[in-house]
Amino acid sequence: MKEIRYHKEVLIFFDELFDILIDKEYFSYYESSAKYLEELIEFIENNIEIFPPKPAPDNFLRFGNNLEYIAYKRNQQTTWYIFFEKGVDFYFIKQITNNHYSGKYLK
């Protein structure tokens, strides 16, 4: 399996997402928020080589060249989109967003 690397901004996003899930009361307990985040990361690490990627729409090219993405349908309300570049022996995760913020740009 190729190494998975995360852009610094993605790591910051993970920290912010943890807090957002609690602050906006999506979850009442820190453990629930941590589990949600853990499941998102596990999906990336377990499926990035399996799921067929799609080319990133032009709106996302500011995050890098030759971007592709995979989608993670977490539940009926939320689908996560993971944007990455492929290297020879690694995947570089450049951006993560969801249908609530970027759904209009993705099909």
Instruction: List, for residues 87-99, the tens digit of each pLDDT value.
Output: 999 999 999 999 9
CATH assignment of 3-105, among 2.60.40, 3.30.70, 3.40.50, 3.30.2310:
3.30.2310
**Average confidence (pLDDT) over 71-81:** 93
The pLDDT of residue 92: 97
DSSP secondary structure code for residue 79 in this structure = E
Closest CA to 69 of 87, 81, 51, 86: 81
Distance, in Å, from the CA atom of 63 to the CA atom of 55, rounded to the nearest integer, reads 13
Name the pTM for this structure. 0.91
Domain boundaries, the chain: 3-105
Q: What does the pLDDT read at residue 65?
A: 85
Report whether pLDDT(45) > 80.
yes
At 59, is the pLDDT very low, low, confident or very high (cuts 50, 70, 90)? confident
Whole-number Å distance between alpha carbons of 41 and 88 = 21
pLDDT of residue 107: 63
So what's the pLDDT on residue 29? 85
The SS3 of residue 20 is helix
- Calculate mean pLDDT across residues 57-86: 92
